[in-house]
Amino acid sequence: MTIRQAQPADAPSVVRLLFDAIKDIGFQLTGAATEQEVIDRLTNFFVQEGNRFSSNQFLVKIADGETAGMILCYHGSDAETIDRPILDELRRITNDPTLTIDKEADEDEYYIDALAVSPEWGGRGIGTELIQAAEQHAQQRGYGKIALNVEQYNERACSLYKKLGYVTDKETIINKKNVFSYDKKPLKAVETASGLAFCGTEVFSLHAASPPQLLTKIKGAPPVRKPPFTPSFDR
């Protein structure tokens, strides 16, 4: 099983997982009225370059030839730039030039925006593997901190992040209603032949032990879902 950077061809499976993870925020960021409209608009962003939901922002876990999970990450200093296409489209759709997008990430940190694991692959430590892959991805790029937002009621997720070394830094509100804990973790430099540097490949092979409880979503409702389900947006 491999963790690699997503590709545009991964859109059907990755966008489905993305919607499951972010739920109501998908409606907020796309201006869509239905679930299918959200998925269609997220797909359009996924196959385009230069936005928050572009395929190159995702790492995916491939197991038995299918997408078992995904994690969406980017550096906080890039957030304004990669949110611009989303904001421009949202303003166009709503005909409201005053609309803004919530600022989620601090500018000096690598940020985990969303995480989801397919229910068919739940309980196997894939959520932890994806988080570790994101941390490694950040280290390879020379970033010294990584952070995420987790809904405060999600005790199971909060416990997992604590075990992984994340510490609550502040409280944030996203989508004008959901209260999150902004958790962060320092990252260690990677020793290379040329000294302290961050280099590597886009492909990861990680074999982490499964935690007692698998987190399948960073934001939003129950950490584990069983099909059938009705997605609802999360931030």
Give the pTM. 0.80
pLDDT at 191: 59
Q: What is the pLDDT of residue 152?
A: 82
CA distance 44 to 121: 26
Reading the block at residue 123, the tokens are: 């309980």
- pLDDT, tens digit, for every residue of 38-89? 999 999 999 999 999 999 999 999 999 999 999 999 999 999 999 999 999 9
Query: CB neighbours of 66 closer than 8 A, spacing ≥ 6?
Result: 13, 118
pLDDT at 113: 95
Beta strand extents in 25-144 (DSSP E only): 58-63, 66-75, 110-117
In a 13 Å sphere around the CA of 135, the CA atoms on its Cβ side amount to 20
Low-confidence ranges of the chain (pLDDT < 70): 177-179, 190-235
Q: Measure the CA–CA gap between 193 and 191, rounded to whole angstroms.
A: 7
Residue-level pLDDT at 26:
94
| The pLDDT of residue 178 | 65
